[in-house]
Amino acid sequence: MSLDLFEKSPNPTWIYDTETLRFLEVNQASIDLYGWSREEFLGMTILDIRPKEDAEPLLACIRRGGTQHASGPWRHRRKDGSEHYVRISSYAIEHASRPARVVTVNDITDLVQTTEALTQSEVMFRGLCASSPAGVYKARIDGYVLYVNPVLAKTWQMTEEEMLGHGWQRRVHAEDLERLTRGWLESNAATGAYEHVFRIVLPSGEIRWIHGHSTAVRSADGKPIASVGTTNDITEQRRANDALRMSEAELRALTDQLPVALLYVDAQGNCRRANRAFEDWFDISREKIISLDFEYFILRGDGKQYEADVRRAWALVMQGTPVRFEKTIAIRGRKRTIEATYTPDFDAEQNILGFTVLLHDITERRALEDQFRHAQKMEAIGRLAGGIAHDFNNILSVMNGYARILHHELDGNEHLGHMSAEIYRAGERAARLTQQLLAFSRKQVSQPRIVRIDDLLRDEETMFRRLVSDTVFLEIDFGAGDACIEIDPHRFSQVLLNLVVNARDAMAKGGRLTIRTAVRNHKVLVSVNDTGCGMSTEVRERLFEPFFTTKDEGKGTGLGLATAYGIVREAGGTISVQSEEGVGSTFTLSLPVAHKTRPVDAPVIKQGCTPCGDETILLIEDDTNIRYLLAHTLESCGYRVVQAENGVEGLAIAKEMLPAIDAVISDAIMPKMSGQDVIASLRQLRPELKALLVSGHIDADPKNLASDSLTAFLYKPVPPDILTAELRRLLDGAPASV
């Protein structure tokens, strides 16, 4: 080889000394592939580019020598340490009066890696096939079988070797062989997928039915190069199907138990079988049905779209394709949503005998799904309302607190005192609004109190009048006097709100809505009467079921009366309804009279009688404005106040001066560490420590406080006099007010 050809060769080429094994010459392709410079190469031996473990095989190959020699694959090492696979050819020469060899290298890394991947793929394929419960085979596209798994060979009672090539054909039934092979070969060349049922004959003469499915394997350019498939012995399944077809009486008994309507139609479109549900739905006797063709039921449907959908399904199912769709049809005079399923019926030769139509009434399921989605939407709105209420509570705590303080400080200034009182009253109205938001969110913590029922109605009267339309006359008859009940007033407002809204909706064209209260047999009665459309017996029986509603889609969740029922029952009462279609409805709430001397909602502390003290109070509150308000309130009553802006800081302060702290006032829910966790940690060091938790959060859940005399809980916004009164009660060890 001339030096010019040697240098320009595209393949890495070098000359090495056969005695010293040192490189004598290398071309540019070698430098490019291996990464060493020419000077570095000339200072190396051919062993330096081989892994250490390949040294002995290399030396043995060199010793064999020969004029020309080709070997490989070998592993060669690059300068960066990476390895690649090569095949080399060499021949002996004399170079500079030294025995030498010229070596030409072919990089076959991609080929080796591809071969290894194919080998691994083949091993994995055979491993998966060996563990498959179905028969698996691999063949050329001409039907020449290359591989079968043990399950397939066992089913056909042949060895794996006997089935290779065309040996498998010896088991196929003579009447099925030509159809099977023709369909298989045609599918390999066309669609690539083939599903078939055929018979095999075992050495004993027994005939078994086989279901096969094959798929063509295609090359990168889309040409089929092989076929893989599975087979299953369906003899027992087929026998069971044949037995079922032969037993018409058993089939009728079976189908009549189905909760769906069933119709069987033959390939000519004649109705051949129907179950009892189909008879009932369409009010046609079974004898009449089997005298009709399917066209009759197509034309009986709900409009042209229904007819088009059914004709499409009929066409597809007669081609062997199952079809499923939903439509609205009339069943016993009522619009119902049905799910229709069309399933083809094949004989042993895969000829279509007809099809089965199953009609499943999914009206209630769809209604429940719609109600559930609506309930989720309402829950999201409720969460938003609850979050707004929480933020309002914090703001109102500051507004109402400072308004109360200003009113107290301005005692004697009638003009400014009146202004501060109006600010406070506006804040109280806003506080009631937040409670209504909490009630709407359905996440309000129940706070039963002793309240006068007539006072509750008076508080809500304005809202009720806003809810009803101009065509509805609202009358409220306060007849309970001073009678009290024990209930969460805001949850009870939710009950009344639901009843008033339902009554309004029942009087779309106007009417009279009357709310009355009375006391009878130690029960407080609240009745809500409307002159609306009334309701049937069937509706009354389901009235309090969750998600049951008679309102149009999107106008009701079906949860209002169910919630009202639960609230009244929780308060120890009952709720009943009387109704007549076209006359109206009356809902009556019956709640036990609360035998208490004074309702909790009555004023306890008169202005100017704020309880004071000189104890040391640790105040933990993450809202700066509320913390300053509470601190000012306590300090104005003589208390010594130590402030902390979060639970972690409060815990650290308390540990330093725990013996000097008489009580802890803390927000129940704060970032980093909740008030309840702070109290729990401090009581491990001082079990008798007294604590007052406050919160305006809807998820605040003071657990086990009923039996805890050392802890009290107040919901924001907390009036200053209520805060100081509850703190004083806690410090004095007095029992909680009822």
DSSP codes, 148-159: E-HHHHHHHTS-
Alpha-carbon span 304 to 333, nearest angstrom? 19
* 408 or 473, higher pLDDT: 473
> Residue 101's beta-bridge partner residues?
16, 92
Segment 387-399 mean pLDDT: 73
Segment 116-135 mean pLDDT: 71
Query: Which pLDDT band holds residue 674 (cuts at 50, 70, 90)?
Result: confident
What integer pLDDT is reported at residue 553 of this predicted model? 52
Lowest pLDDT segment from 66-80, 280-294, 567-581: 66-80
Lowest pLDDT segment from 111-125, 318-332, 603-617: 603-617
Please classify residue 118 by burial: count the beta carbons closer than 10 Å to its beta carbon, then call 0-12 exposed, 13-18 middle and 19+ buried: exposed
| 596 Cβ contact partners less than 8 Å away, ≥ 6 residues apart | 450, 484, 486, 738
Segment 720-726 mean pLDDT: 85
What integer pLDDT is reported at residue 28 of this predicted model? 92
What integer pLDDT is reported at residue 501 of this predicted model? 87
Query: Which pLDDT band holds residue 57 (cuts at 50, 70, 90)?
Result: confident
Segment 53-63 mean pLDDT: 81
Nearest to 142 by CA among 182, 185, 179, 174: 185
| 581 Cβ contact partners less than 8 Å away, ≥ 6 residues apart | 533, 534, 535, 536
What integer pLDDT is reported at residue 528 of this predicted model? 94
Phi, psi at residue 59, to the nearest 5°?
-65, -40
Lowest pLDDT segment from 59-73, 200-214, 705-719: 59-73
Give the chain's mean pLDDT. Answer: 82
Q: Vertex 448, ends 721 and 609: CA angle to 5°?
A: 15
What integer pLDDT is reported at residue 598 of this predicted model? 47
* 654 or 546, higher pLDDT: 654
Question: Would you say residue 732 has pLDDT above 60?
Answer: yes
Segment 379-386 mean pLDDT: 64
- Exposure of 573 in the CB half-sphere (CA atoms within 13 A): 26
| 514-524 pLDDT per residue, tens | 999 999 988 99
Nearest to 503 by CA among 525, 533, 479: 533
Token pair, residue 463, equals 């809202």
* 333 or 78, higher pLDDT: 78
> Residue 74's beta-bridge partner residues?
86
What integer pLDDT is reported at residue 605 of this predicted model? 34
What integer pLDDT is reported at residue 478 of this predicted model? 93
Token pair, residue 683, equals 């009581």
What integer pLDDT is reported at residue 560 of this predicted model? 67
Question: Would you say residue 713 has pLDDT above 70?
Answer: yes
Question: Would you say residue 527 has pLDDT above 70?
Answer: yes
Alpha-carbon span 87 to 104, nearest angstrom? 9
Lowest pLDDT segment from 171-180, 269-278, 329-338, 601-610: 601-610
Sign of CA dihedral 702, 703, 706, 708: negative
- Are 607 and 582 in contact by the 8 Å Cβ rule? The answer is no
Alpha-carbon span 648 to 674, nearest angstrom? 9
Q: Which helix (H) or strand (E) holds 641?
A: strand 640-644
Please classify residue 195 by burial: count the beta carbons closer than 10 Å to its beta carbon, then call 0-12 exposed, 13-18 middle and 19+ buried: middle
Lowest pLDDT segment from 134-138, 411-415, 568-572: 411-415
Alpha-carbon span 120 to 116, nearest angstrom? 6
Lowest pLDDT segment from 153-167, 389-403, 671-685: 389-403
Query: Which pLDDT band holds residue 166 (cuts at 50, 70, 90)?
Result: very high
- Exposure of 627 in the CB half-sphere (CA atoms within 13 A): 18
What integer pLDDT is reported at residue 340 of this predicted model? 87
Specify the amino acid at residue 641.
Answer: V
Query: Which pLDDT band holds residue 162 (cuts at 50, 70, 90)?
Result: very high
Query: Which pLDDT band holds residue 476 (cuts at 50, 70, 90)?
Result: very high
Q: Where are the beta strands (DSSP E) in 48-171?
A: 68-77, 83-95, 98-107, 135-139, 145-148
Query: Which pLDDT band holds residue 607 (cuts at 50, 70, 90)?
Result: very low
| 472 Cβ contact partners less than 8 Å away, ≥ 6 residues apart | 504, 507, 510, 511, 512, 513
What integer pLDDT is reported at residue 702 of this predicted model? 58
What integer pLDDT is reported at residue 733 of this predicted model? 83
Q: Vertex 150, ends 146 and 151: CA angle to 5°?
A: 115
> Residue 543's beta-bridge partner residues?
none
> How many angstroms separate the most distant Cα atoms in the chain?
132
DSSP codes, 299-357: HTSSHHHHHHHHHHHHHHHTTT--EEEEEEEEETTEEEEEEEEEEEEE-TTS-EEEEEE
Segment 721-735 mean pLDDT: 85
Token pair, residue 287, equals 């004898």
What integer pLDDT is reported at residue 490 of this predicted model? 76
| 44-56 pLDDT per residue, tens | 999 999 998 888 8
- Are 663 and 730 in contact by the 8 Å Cβ rule? The answer is yes
Nearest to 4 by CA among 22, 24, 27, 20: 27
What integer pLDDT is reported at residue 257 of this predicted model? 76
> Residue 202's beta-bridge partner residues?
none
What integer pLDDT is reported at residue 639 of this predicted model? 93
Alpha-carbon span 611 to 721, nearest angstrom? 8
- Are 587 and 577 in contact by the 8 Å Cβ rule? The answer is yes
Question: Would you say residue 641 has pLDDT above 90?
Answer: yes
What integer pLDDT is reported at residue 691 of this predicted model? 92
Alpha-carbon span 384 to 377, nearest angstrom? 11
* 348 or 604, higher pLDDT: 348
Predicted structure pTM score: 0.39
Question: Would you say residue 600 has pLDDT above 50?
Answer: no
Query: Which pLDDT band holds residue 604 (cuts at 50, 70, 90)?
Result: very low
- Are 443 and 386 in contact by the 8 Å Cβ rule? The answer is yes
What integer pLDDT is reported at residue 514 of this predicted model? 94
Sign of CA dihedral 597, 599, 602, 605: positive
Alpha-carbon span 382 to 602, nearest angstrom? 30
Please classify residue 334 by burial: count the beta carbons closer than 10 Å to its beta carbon, then call 0-12 exposed, 13-18 middle and 19+ buried: exposed
Q: Report the range out of 214-218, 430-434, 526-530, 608-612 with the highest average pLDDT.
A: 526-530
Query: Which pLDDT band holds residue 381 (cuts at 50, 70, 90)?
Result: low
| 502 Cβ contact partners less than 8 Å away, ≥ 6 residues apart | 560, 561
Segment 634-647 mean pLDDT: 92
Token pair, residue 111, equals 């080929």
What integer pLDDT is reported at residue 554 of this predicted model? 46
Provide the percentage of residues in the chain whose pLDDT is more than 70: 83
Alpha-carbon span 512 to 506, nearest angstrom? 11
Alpha-carbon span 353 to 290, nearest angstrom? 16
> Residue 713's beta-bridge partner residues?
693
Sheet strands side by side (includes 145-148): 145-148, 135-139, 224-233, 207-218, 193-201
Alpha-carbon span 313 to 316, nearest angstrom? 5
Lowest pLDDT segment from 381-395, 530-544, 629-643: 381-395
Lowest pLDDT segment from 127-141, 355-369, 663-677: 127-141
What integer pLDDT is reported at residue 281 of this predicted model? 82
Q: Is 521 helix (H, G, I), strand (E, B) or coil?
A: coil
Alpha-carbon span 55 to 61, nearest angstrom? 10
Instruction: Specify the DSSP class assigned to residue 542.
Output: T
**Rg of the chain over all Cα atoms, to the nearest angstrom:** 45
